[in-house]
A = this chain, B = another copy of it.
Amino acid sequence: MNPSAEIVSPSLDPDLATFLREIQELVDAELDRYLPSESLPPQQVHAAIRWSVFAGGKRFRPSLLMAVGESFSADRHNLLAPACALEMLHAYSLIHDDLPSMDDDDLRRGRATCHIRFGEAAAILAGDALQTLAFQIVAEDEKLTAETRVTLIQELSRAAGTPVGMVAGQAHDLEAESRVVSAAELEQIHHLKTGALIVAAARCGALIGGAPASELALTSTFASQLGLLFQITDDVLDVTATAETLGKTPGKDRRADKATYANLHGIDTARELAVATHNEALATLNKLNRPTERLHAIADYILTRKA
């Protein structure tokens, strides 16, 4: 497991830094407990699963779920299984997206992608099994009522699948690679590919905290704005960051003439768009009559992050 060095930059609010480190440790320990051991057959698939899940990810989705849940006074331990499920869905999507027939990436977070390290068959099966396990651990989580578990699985599956989730976004993204993409279309691709799961993270936290419909809707709006902000700063960092801080080859998106906010609008306009989106997210938070300091700090962090 990787320490949380990546996410604790000097400019990070100290309270948020502590929160993120706590969540990362909690989630990593729980993931370690959930994931099948490398000593059990099929060893190669289990090794591939752990290689990808413990690759130094920031646990952004689990942290968002936990922060939203705590804003709605949920007990942290009731948030843990769905937080791990989100990370499993995220890890599965990265493994499959990196495959040769998809984005064909050799490197992620500074090391070999799953199929480069374990072969394509093991990588496909590792992704498949991670998706299965995500739904399994929520279904088996006895800390939550059956009603809550069913609601969470509905949220996660809609966000992960098609036509309104992550798989639809990846398909749209692949299809759009070879042609000119409009600003509206780019936003739609990201809304599906990364936004849907980020919104699901926030909604799961709110649902476990018993949020009423009006506050659930505001939470979705905030998370959607945060997801957009995340994507814009990701695109900007891909242009401006060095390989060392980024842990992957920067500029890959630009070279491939891929649709990104930086490519479409230019780097300065993309930065302005990030600031405007950050402001909108904070305005949404203000409408929530809850303690949202941590969510505010997360939005600030996403705007100013260096990696």
Which A residues lie at the B interface, using CB under 8 A? 36, 40-42, 44-46, 92, 96, 99, 101-102, 119-122, 124-125, 127-129, 131-133, 135-136, 139-140, 145-147, 149-150, 153-154, 157-158, 160-163, 165, 167-168, 170-172, 174-175
> When the two chains form their complex, are residues A102 and B129 in contact, meaning their CB atoms are under 8 A apart?
no
Copies of this polypeptide in the complex: 2
Given contacts A149-B150, A168-B41, contact A136 B162 (CB under 8 A): no
Given contacts A146-B150, A153-B135, contact A163 B124 (CB under 8 A): no
**Nearest B residue to A130 by beta-carbon distance?**
B161
> When the two chains form their complex, are residues A168 and B42 in contact, meaning their CB atoms are under 8 A apart?
yes
Please pick, from B40, B127, B158, B163, the residue contacting A163 in the complex, using a CB distance under 8 A: B40
Please pick, from B41, B45, B120, B163, the residue contacting A101 in the complex, using a CB distance under 8 A: B120
Given contacts A42-B168, A46-B162, A125-B171, 13 further A-B contacts (CB under 8 A): A41-B172, A42-B175, A44-B175, A101-B119, A101-B121, A102-B121, A124-B124, A125-B167, A127-B128, A132-B165, A135-B153, A146-B146, A150-B150
Please pick, from B101, B128, B154, the residue contacting A167 in the complex, using a CB distance under 8 A: B128
**Nearest B residue to A131 by beta-carbon distance?**
B131
Nearest chain B CB to A19 CB, angstrom units: 30
Given contacts A96-B128, A128-B131, A128-B167, contact A42 B119 (CB under 8 A): no
